[in-house]
Amino acid sequence: MYKTVRIPDIGKEKLEVIEILVKIGDFVKNDQNLLIVEGEKTSIEIPSKETGKIKKIFIKIGDLVKTNSKIFLLKKKEIKKEKKINKNNILKIDKRNDIPYKDYEIYASPMIRRLARKNSISLSKIKGTGNKGRISKEDFFAYLEKKDNNYNKNNLNNIFKKNFCFEKFGKIKKISLNKIQKVISKNLLKSWLTIPHVTQFDEINITKLEKFRKNVNLDILNNKNNSIKITLLPFVVKAIANALKNFPNFNSSYSEESNTLFLKKYINIGIVINCDRGIFIPVIKDVFNKSIFEISIEISYFSEKVRSNSLKKEDMEGGNFTISNLGGYGGGYFTPIINFPEVAILGISKYINKNVFINKKSFNIITLPISLSYDHRVINGVEAVEFINFIKNKLEKFHSFIIK
């Protein structure tokens, strides 16, 4: 027996098909989600009201559908009657699963619905704090954290005790994460789960810049009234400030809830600083209008505040872009995680001395490995390469801007 599956009552508006969750030949159960449609104000998951096999699909992604539109042809599963029927165990064809049909009436973005479906969570259990009860990312993760709290405390501990009994191999020491580490871990997880990361790698020839920097430090050393030492980092900060001025998408934040990109007219850059209590990201404000000397002084100032545990909350607010510098620790390329709600972060590794051949002549150069991670919803690959090339040009062929 064949059954044509149609769009249920979704109102008068035509909605766009943005995702088809099944294919021809799939066996679907009652209340299993078949597709997702989206309008200007909401997205709706369309469930099956029958059990059977998909024989034909009438729609494709991008189609506009309305109430009663044909979407699938289903071959219904025939249910054979058993000779002995247990009245207390009759098969209920209309039994619902964990996800209520009424979920489609709840205001939530497609991303939230996908996360809910992936985690088998009914949106009806989450209290939305947005307009008309709309469920935001914060609402979803707050619910997920609360839901998993007992699991983390009980089940996860039992799993570790049963499967990871480290004590039987020797002595161990248990260390609980401090408050700062817990906050950082939570923010990093949220960033990784919600932002589609892409990382672009490259090298910058800093041979001339390093020679210039060392000469500047010699001049500073001879000047007894100035004790600051210029490192490579302030030059990178200054180059990025210029890049952000020319590539506004990198100087933005994206809200998926409102599908809005917030372009910022100010340029504030965060610097990751490590200490024994964890990592901190103080923010240098108005970087574009500051000199290399001023940036150097602020980095030194914030580093001291981190070491002395005197960094304030306002010191870490207002960042647009972050730099993670591992150059002093060694290692090669790495994939830095974006500092939410920013859209990009630059990782710096230890510079490399290498020989290159140009016109059959050998030259010794110094290169700086960099890793640019960016939000692919906001920035595409071409923009990322152009952004890196701009920074390379500023550092390889630095001009008067670099020391002002």
Instruction: Give me the domain span that covers residue 268.
Output: 196-403
Catalytic position from the list 208, 245, 264, 376: 376
Domain count, the chain: 2
Two tokens at 244? 């952000």
205 and 70, same structural domain? no
Q: Which residues contact 311 (CB under 8 A, 6 or more apart)?
A: 280, 282, 302, 305
Does the annotation mark 376 as catalytic? yes
Please compute the mean of the pLDDT values over residues 171-177 and round it to a whole number. Answer: 80
Q: Which residues contact 286 (CB under 8 A, 6 or more apart)?
A: 266, 267, 268
What does the H/E/C string look like for 166-208? HHHHCCCCCCCCCHHHHHHHHHHHHHHHHCCEEEEEEEEECHH
Residue that is last in its domain, among 47, 78, 109: 78
Please compute the mean of the pLDDT values over residues 136-150 and round it to a whole number. Answer: 72
Residue 78 CA to its chain's centroid (Å):
46
**Predicted confidence (pLDDT) at residue 89 exceeds the cutoff of 50:** no
337: confidence class by pLDDT, cuts 50, 70, 90: very high
Residue 274 lies in a domain: yes
Q: What is the pTM of this model?
A: 0.61
**Predicted confidence (pLDDT) at residue 179 exceeds the cutoff of 70:** yes
pLDDT at 101: 43
**Per-residue pLDDT tens for 263-301?**
999 999 999 998 887 889 999 999 999 999 999 999 999
Residue 290 lies in a domain: yes
Beta bridge partners of 173: none
253: confidence class by pLDDT, cuts 50, 70, 90: very high
Distance CA(136)–CA(84), nearest Å, equals 51
Distance CA(342)–CA(268), nearest Å, equals 11
Q: What is the CATH number of the domain that holds 31?
A: 2.40.50.100
155: confidence class by pLDDT, cuts 50, 70, 90: low
Residue 87 lies in a domain: no
pLDDT at 40: 62
pLDDT at 318: 93
Q: What is the CATH number of the domain that holds 389?
A: 3.30.559.10
Please compute the mean of the pLDDT values over residues 102-124 and round it to a whole number. Answer: 73
Residue that is last in its domain, among 26, 44, 78: 78
Residue that is last in its domain, among 78, 111, 140: 78
Residue 286 lies in a domain: yes
Residue 297 lies in a domain: yes
Residue 135 lies in a domain: no
Please compute the mean of the pLDDT values over residues 179-190 and round it to a whole number. Answer: 78
Q: Is residue 231 helix, strand or coil?
A: coil
